[in-house]
Amino acid sequence: MPFTIIKEIDTPGGSAGGLTFDDKYLWWASTFEPAIYQLDRDGTVIKSFPAAIINGHGLAFDGKNLWTVGTGGDRGLYQFDRDGNRIKYSVTTPGNLRGITFDGKYLWTVDTVLATIFQFDRNGKTISSFNTPHGNPTGLTFDDKNLWLADFGANKICKLDRDGNEIEEHGSPGAQAEDLAFDGQYLWHTDPGTNKIYQIAIS
């Protein structure tokens, strides 16, 4: 079933690594620079700052601060404020974390090597985990009830319940499914293959 695309906006740069939404703005991460951008919903850059870590992927907003996940030598969970100042670091899984989201209490991350979703507390303690429907997951968001997962290899976006059961599956609107965000009504999706952010109707 195809998505209904509401809007496409150009990203400020290439090599998209993460996307999230706070109460008003989108936050987009470029792993090429690396940098974090604050954008309005038309793609206008509000501000930007250097990323909290070099190898950061994925972005989440916990109601006050931002989170990202690191790969390679930067492996772990990183919390930082909306000016880019690092607050907390927690060591996590031995794999390769990419996407991250927040459900109001817990952090959820996706490991692209293990094809696994992990639920963590804010100190990096594992609460639960389950396998993903496809083998190269990269992005994750929470829609107030369920998880949405982007898979780069399959170029798919899947809706899952919090036990990992697939509810629905869609083809990605672009060339390379990377990360996802939810603004309370619409799904947003970033794609490094097209250097676009897509606003998507999900109901």
Q: What is the number of domains present in the chain? A: 1
For 203, residues 6+ apart whose C-beta sits below 8 A from its C-beta are none
* Residue 92 confidence (pLDDT) above 70: no
- Among 31-40, 66-75, 97-106, which is the least confidently predicted range? 66-75
Q: How far apart are CA 69 and CA 96, in angstroms?
A: 9
Percent of the residues in the chain that have a pLDDT greater than 70, as a whole number: 97
Q: Is 144 exposed, middle or buried (0-12, 13-18, 19+ CB in 10 A)?
A: exposed
Q: Helix (H, G, I), strand (E, B), or coil: what is residue 73?
A: helix
Question: For residue 168, what is the domain's CATH number?
Answer: 2.120.10.30
Q: Report d(CA 117, CA 120) in Å as an integer.
A: 10
Query: pLDDT for 51-61, tens place per residue?
Result: 878 777 899 99
For the beta carbon of residue 99, count every other beta carbon within 10 angstroms.
31
User: The domain containing residue 108 runs over which residues?
Assistant: 4-201
d(CA 183, CA 57): 20
pLDDT tens profile 20-36 = 999 999 999 988 888 99
Model pLDDT for residues 130-160, shown as the tens digit of each residue: 999 999 999 999 999 999 999 999 999 999 9
Residue 72, SS3 per DSSP: helix
Q: What is the pLDDT of residue 53?
A: 80
Which pairs from 51-54 meet CB under 8 Å and 24+ separation? 51/84, 52/78, 52/80, 52/84, 52/86, 53/78
The pLDDT of residue 129 is above 90:
yes
Task: In whole angstroms, give the CA distance from residue 16 to residue 192.
Answer: 5
Mean pLDDT (whole number) for 90-109: 86
Q: Pick the closest to residue 83 from 126, 125, 47 (CA basis).
A: 47
